[in-house]
Chains A and B, each alone.
Chain A
Amino acid sequence: MGLLAREIEAAGVTTVALALVKEVADAARAPRMLYLHWPFGHALGEPGNVAQQRTILHDMLSMARAASRPGLVIELPYRWRRETYPPIVDWTADSVAAVSVPPDEGLFREYLENGILHRASCKDSLTNKNRQVIYGSSLRETATLRYPYLGSEHFGPFTTNLQGIDGRSPMGSGLPRNISTSAHDWGQGLMFEGQNCSHFGSFTICL
């Protein structure tokens, strides 16, 4: 897959590849790669789930247009069956899940300008090691911030954190206590007692 992508890209045609095995996605060194932790034979999702398939196509088109450099591997945050796939409203807008933004660019700059951003060291609950994290929240609560996902190459996995705009969490936690090592847990922090949390743009990124 990666080899084919490289040959096609070398012939002057833009490529976006999907991969279902993380190590293969990394080793293939394809120009643009989206990784999904989904079963073999299901790269676009489940049979008959058109919204899911269209979500992946939207992610691929977004990455084709917005990837900033060759060799980017972006891990999509969708959990296999435990996800709802809203219809794509605007195909000309990039999918935030599939667009990687270096720390000082684009979406991230928006956070810097409009939200509060903190850098901190905290303990990874799984490896028990200290890690650098960036966490913060956006003042603007927009639907486009639903996937505050900024590219695994730059940041590694992240977890969302319910952090208030004044730096204190409305849900009682200061620093993120629980740093997930899996991006598939991205959405957990957005639900509180069965309801969507209003701090939609809050996020934490492990460095």
Chain B
Amino acid sequence: MDEHDAPTRTPINPLSERILRWISGSGRGQAFGHLLSRLIALPQLKRLSAGAIPWTPLSRPISEATVAIVTTSGVHLRRDKPFHLHSDSSFRVIPRETKAADLTITHQAYDRTDALRDINLVFPLERLRELEAEGVISRVADEHFGFGLSGSAKALIAPGREVARRLARAHVDLVLLVPA
């Protein structure tokens, strides 16, 4: 993959960049990252995820299913407005034919070095298109969705509902959710 095929890198604070590389690249860093993730996400999740878990079994075989990706890793089209780095609950639409070079990642809570080398690590659209060509799945959906770093889980509910509506309207059968 040459330079032109790669997604662009949205610059973030160089100090954050170094901390994130430590978090992704070392055992202690990972433990620290997990601790942070637990501290920030767990209380919010516990509050918001009470109640019955919704359940929609797959209505057709995988080989007849339309599949979409939703990622929370800050992936969006280069020409779209970048996510706000500190907290942004909005989403960006990524069309099915998008090439890696048309994408960028705006997120300041993980080391994006590898994901920028191969966007499939956080947004496996190319892999999904291969599965479509091989007939494993029926169709790759026309629209996929990228979310950025959201500090508030509650603020995600409304845009999440909007994305859910759009996916249902597009007759998507299966959504694969990929985290940062």
Interface residues of chain A, those whose CB is within 8 Å of chain B, are 1-21, 23-24, 27-31, 39-48, 50, 53-54, 57, 60-61, 64-65, 69-71, 91-92
**If the complex has contacts A21-B34, A28-B49, are A44 and B117 also in contact, measured as CB distance less than 8 A?**
no
Cα(A65)–Cα(B64), bound, Å: 12
Cα(A91)–Cα(B128), bound, Å: 13
Contact B156 A3 (CB under 8 A): yes
Name the residue among B25, B41, B54, B180 with the largest chain A CB count within 10 angstroms. Answer: B54
Q: Which residues of B contact A28 (CB under 8 A)?
A: 45, 49
B161 contacts partner chain A, Cβ-Cβ < 8 Å: yes
Contact A41 B124 (CB under 8 A): no
Contact A13 B38 (CB under 8 A): no
Q: Which residues of B contact A4 (CB under 8 A)?
A: 70, 72, 147, 156, 160, 163-164, 177
Contact B120 A21 (CB under 8 A): no
B121 contacts partner chain A, Cβ-Cβ < 8 Å: yes
Kindly report which residue of chain B lies nearest to residue A38, judged by CB atoms.
B30
B104 contacts partner chain A, Cβ-Cβ < 8 Å: no
Q: Shortest distance in angstroms between B101's beta carbon and chain A's nearest beta carbon?
A: 15
User: Closest 10 interchain pairs by CB?
Assistant: A47-B118, A11-B164, A17-B177, A70-B53, A10-B54, A7-B160, A40-B110, A41-B110, A9-B54, A47-B117
